[in-house]
Amino acid sequence: MLTEEKRKLELEAANIRKTALETIHTAGSGHIGGSFSMAEIMAVLYFKAMNIDPKDPEKADRDRLVLSKGHCSPVMYATLARRGFFPIDHLKTFRKIDSDLSGHVEIHVPGVDMSGGSLGQGLSVAVGMAMYAKSNNVGNYVYAIMGDGEIQEGQIWEAAMSAGFFKVNNLIAFVDNNKIQLDGRLSEIMDPNPIDEKFRAFNWNVISVNGQDVEEIADAIDEARKSQDKPTMILAHTTKGAGVSVFEDTPRFHGGQPTPEEYELAIKELNDRIASLEV
Ligand SMILES: Cc1ncc(C[n+]2csc(CCOP(=O)(O)OP(=O)(O)O)c2C)c(N)n1
């Protein structure tokens, strides 16, 4: 990847974080930790990898994304707004009573391909979308993003088994491996590791990346697209709350909110990061 493209994607990830945090702050609630851990994944998908058109959000041959960890709507909505699917100003209505931007992703928002919120269901939907696309020669890719706590759900493994068996090679799924679930560490609650070996055993191609590194994510997607006979799982090693020191690696900001002082500090850190990446 050229240095210039890398800088732009890193800048976009920082801007996505800031927009997501401002959105949560205005609403007074929302999930920071799991949104921040996947900011680079969203930047690469929506600003480089995916075949999408904000002016034609329903175009038939578009790539699809199922955000199975649907509580991370702030990062999804911030990304879609920044990519031009709807005005950034609309984010001020997030979690308000008559807004379409509710706390978990909803399909009627422009750019959202599937509702989410009840964990464990998204991979099944993505497998179905990908199988349809293959059998109808749509020629697109279907992406899914799961949480590492989420994959404790049994339905994930039924979906994984079917995708492997039916050789759904146009399916590219991420596990956002931030090592923390709602109120603690996976290692202390119910550890799904080794995640890579489990998916391989179900006939998946597995690529491990640093999920905070835009270049590694983009390279993994390129490799995944070459797969002829297997779905791909990109195991993204991430940090919950990545990008703001006080949010990082703690269950406190899974759904919890910063104090006013912590919020100011977070915005300052994000502004500094943005300034360092702007030319
Ligand atoms: C079926 C279901 N059970 C419980 C919840 C409540 N819940 C919301 S987020 C969450 C933790 C998810 O952890 P993880 O998948 O690791 O997400 P991340 O750390 O990336 O935010 C839980 C239990 C839910 N949304 N759906």
Residue of 68, 71, 102 with the most ligand 1 atoms within 8 Å of its CB, for mutation: 71
Give CA angle at 279 (37, 22), nearest 5°.
Answer: 40
pLDDT tens profile 206-259: 999 999 999 999 999 999 999 999 999 999 999 999 999 999 999 999 999 999
- Calculate how far, in angstroms, residue 178's C-alpha sits from the geometric centre of ligand 1: 12
What CATH code would you report for 3-277?
A: 3.40.50.970
Instruction: Give tens-digit pLDDT for 258-277.
Output: 999 999 999 999 999 999 99
The mean pLDDT of 172-182, rounded to a whole number, is 98
Closest Cα to atom 7, ligand 1: which residue? 182
Give, in order, the Cα–Cα distances in Å from 166 to each of 14, 61, 135: 38, 21, 12
The domains of the chain are located at: 3-277
User: pLDDT at position 221, please?
Assistant: 98
- Ligand 1 site: residues with CB under 6 angstroms? 31, 33-34, 37, 69, 71, 117-120, 147-150, 176, 178, 180-182, 240, 254
Q: For residue 33, give the ligand 1 atom closest to its CA.
A: 21
pLDDT range class, residue 279, cuts 50, 70, 90? confident
- CA dist 106 and 49 (Å) reads 22
What does the pLDDT average to over 190-218? 98
Compute the average pLDDT of residues 23-31.
98
**Nearest Cα residue to atom 15 of ligand 1:** 147
Separation CA 184–CA 127 (nearest Å): 30
Distance in Å, CA 7 to ligand 1 centroid: 32
